[in-house]
């Protein structure tokens, strides 16, 4: 397969750089219909499906990747297919799994879609009150929450029937945000960032804000959670990773790496935090100690513009490559 140059770094250069650093070359997964680029944003690993869930944005599809074999299942015809013009403003850009269904936000139509992954059919949906960003299934309440940053709020839907139909229930105001969204099932909380320097904690049962914590970021972006140890990780756009203690919001550690950090992820099995820098063309991999302290283990080369990552249960990090319309799989655990 011919591999063309991606931004300022070619795939051949990426392979050579990986090998030079003692790391296996990344697996390259082209996204069907993404030859001209894909507006990737929010990637997720679903333990229930045992698949990486990739919203393929302007291609009008969701792609499921099976770890190890790297086989793809494409769920198509979910939205209008468009030429990629840069950014992630069109199509399905965020998906979460719950109750054996996929919940997807479509930025183009401003709709919440409910998809059956077994047959790829849209079984129900609902109009959103404004433009969506992240969608998350909230297990403690059986709801779906969708962030709407243009209106500084989260829209909440309860689910009726089987297959579930989303019905608008409420808004939660998040002035100055919300950016990113992660659910802490054990504590019945949700966490979101404000764009500048703070992270908020929300009680998902009564929908009240129970904390607003300084996170040390000039630009607050992605979130990831170590639920068992009570660590919340924040990615800072200027090139930092931060650990907060969810028991009170104390800042436990911060680490400088890369530039242009956006969507981050964490591996509980390895205790590693992944911080892709879309501007620097590097992804920092940090070890998280029992105290929450962050130690940089390596910085692996990634294409410029690669601002999002998801990690599976076996130590594979799936890095988005919007310009190349591909996913790069970086091994970080025993093969």
The DSSP secondary structure of 224-252, one letter per residue, reads: EEETTTTEEEEEETTTEEEEEETTT--EE
Looking at residue 317, what is its pLDDT? 98
* Single residue among 173, 203, 230 that ends a domain in this structure: 173
Examine the pLDDT at 6 and tell me if it is beyond 50.
no
Confidence label for 19 from pLDDT (cuts 50, 70 and 90): very low
Token output for 146: 């969708």
Same domain, 70 and 124: yes
- Neighbouring CB atoms inside 10 A of 269's CB total 11
Looking at residue 22, what is its pLDDT? 57
Looking at residue 84, what is its pLDDT? 82
Token output for 24: 């296996």
Same domain, 190 and 163: no
Looking at residue 1, what is its pLDDT? 21
Same domain, 79 and 120: yes
Domain assignment present for residue 2? The answer is no
First to last CA, the chain: 24
Residue with tokens 């660590």: 231
Same domain, 255 and 297: yes
Looking at residue 231, what is its pLDDT? 98
Among residues 2, 15, 3, 4, the alpha carbon closest in space to that of 301 is found at 15
pTM for this predicted structure:
0.93
Domain assignment present for residue 84? The answer is yes
1 or 52, which is more confident?
Answer: 52
Q: Tell me: the pLDDT tens digits for 131-183?
A: 999 999 999 999 999 999 999 999 999 999 999 999 999 999 999 999 999 99
**In the chain, what percentage of residues exceed pLDDT 70?**
92
Q: For 5-9, what is the mean pLDDT?
A: 34
Looking at residue 333, what is its pLDDT? 66
* Single residue among 147, 173, 199 that ends a domain in this structure: 173
Domain assignment present for residue 42? The answer is yes
Q: For 306-315, what is the mean pLDDT?
A: 96
- DSSP-assigned beta bridge partners for residue 5: 10
Same domain, 165 and 202: no
Q: Tell me: the pLDDT tens digits for 271-309?
A: 999 999 999 999 999 999 999 999 999 999 999 999 999
Domain assignment present for residue 1? The answer is no
Confidence label for 41 from pLDDT (cuts 50, 70 and 90): very high
Among residues 273, 176, 275, 198, the alpha carbon closest in space to that of 229 is found at 273
- Helix ranges restricted to H, 73-230: none
Domain assignment present for residue 334? The answer is no
The helix (H) or strand (E) run that includes residue 19 is helix 11-20
Among residues 294, 295, 156, the alpha carbon closest in space to that of 232 is found at 294
Q: Is the dihedral of CA 288, 293, 297, 303 positive or negative?
A: positive
Counting the structural domains of the chain, the total is 2
Q: Which domain holds residue 258?
A: 176-329
- Whole-number mean pLDDT of the chain? 92
CATH of the domain at 134: 2.130.10.10
Looking at residue 80, what is its pLDDT? 80
Separation between Cα atoms, residue 209 and residue 207, nearest integer Å: 7
Q: Tell me: the pLDDT tens digits for 60-107?
A: 999 999 999 999 999 999 988 888 888 888 999 999 999 999 999 999
Same domain, 98 and 123: yes
Non-local (6+) Cβ contacts of 172 within 8 A are 145, 153, 154, 156, 202, 207
Looking at residue 14, what is its pLDDT? 53
8 A C-beta contact, residue 274 and residue 264: yes
Cα-based distances in Å from 88 to 85, 106, 224, 226, 295:
9, 11, 21, 27, 31
Same domain, 181 and 324: yes
Q: Is the dihedral of CA 274, 270, 191, 146 positive or negative?
A: positive
DSSP for 302-320? --TT---EEE-TTSEEEEE
Same domain, 147 and 259: no
Is the bond into 178 cis (omega within 30 degrees of 0)? Answer: yes
Domain assignment present for residue 3? The answer is no
Same domain, 69 and 46: yes
Confidence label for 21 from pLDDT (cuts 50, 70 and 90): low
Same domain, 149 and 197: no
Is the bond into 200 cis (omega within 30 degrees of 0)? Answer: no
Looking at residue 4, what is its pLDDT? 27
Same domain, 110 and 80: yes
Domain assignment present for residue 10? The answer is no
* Single residue among 173, 195, 227 that ends a domain in this structure: 173
**In the chain, what percentage of residues exceed pLDDT 90?**
88
Token output for 15: 């392979």
Identify the burial level of 118 via C-beta atoms within 10 angstroms of its C-beta, where 0-12 means exposed, 13-18 middle and 19 or more buried: exposed
Looking at residue 213, what is its pLDDT? 98
Same domain, 169 and 198: no
Confidence label for 12 from pLDDT (cuts 50, 70 and 90): low
Q: For 6-29, what is the mean pLDDT?
A: 58
Non-local (6+) Cβ contacts of 63 within 8 A are 31, 32, 54, 56, 72, 73, 74, 75
Domain assignment present for residue 31? The answer is no
């Amino acid at each position: 397969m011919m591999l063309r140059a991606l931004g300022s770094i070619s795939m051949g250069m990426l392979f050579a750089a990986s090998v030079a650093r003692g790391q296996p070359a990344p697996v390259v997964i082209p996204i069907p219909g993404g030859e001209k680029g894909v507006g990737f944003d929010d990637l997720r690993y679903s333990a229930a499906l045992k698949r990486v869930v990739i919203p393929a944005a302007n291609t009008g599809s969701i792609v499921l990747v099976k770890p190890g074999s790297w086989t793809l299942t494409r769920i198509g015809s979910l939205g209008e297919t468009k030429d990629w013009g840069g950014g992630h403003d069109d199509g399905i850009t965020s998906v979460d799994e719950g109750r054996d269904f996929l919940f997807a936000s479509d930025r183009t139509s401003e709709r919440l879609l409910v998809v059956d992954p077994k047959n790829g059919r849209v079984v129900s949906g609902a109009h959103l009150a404004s433009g969506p960003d992240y969608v998350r299934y909230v297990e403690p309440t059986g709801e779906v929450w969708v962030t709407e940053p243009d209106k500084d709020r989260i829209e909440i839907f309860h689910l009726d029937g089987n297959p579930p139909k989303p019905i608008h229930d409420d808004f939660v105001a998040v002035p100055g945000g919300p950016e990113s969204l992660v659910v802490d099932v054990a504590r019945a909380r949700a966490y979101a960032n404000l764009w500048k320097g703070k992270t908020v904690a929300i009680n998902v049962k009564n929908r009240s804000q129970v904390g607003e914590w300084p996170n040390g970021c000039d630009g607050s972006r992605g979130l990831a959670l170590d639920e068992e140890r009570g660590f919340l990780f924040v990615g800072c756009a200027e090139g930092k990773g931060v650990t907060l203690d969810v028991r009170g919001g104390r800042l436990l550690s911060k680490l400088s790496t890369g530039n242009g950090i956006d969507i981050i992820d964490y591996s509980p099995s390895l205790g590693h935090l992944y911080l892709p820098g879309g501007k620097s063309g590097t992804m920092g991999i940090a070890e998280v100690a029992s105290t929450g302290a962050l130690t940089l283990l390596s910085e692996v080369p990634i294409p410029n513009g690669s601002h999002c990552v998801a990690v599976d249960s076996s130590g594979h990090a799936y890095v988005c490559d919007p310009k190349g319309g591909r996913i790069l799989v970086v091994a970080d655990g025993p093969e």
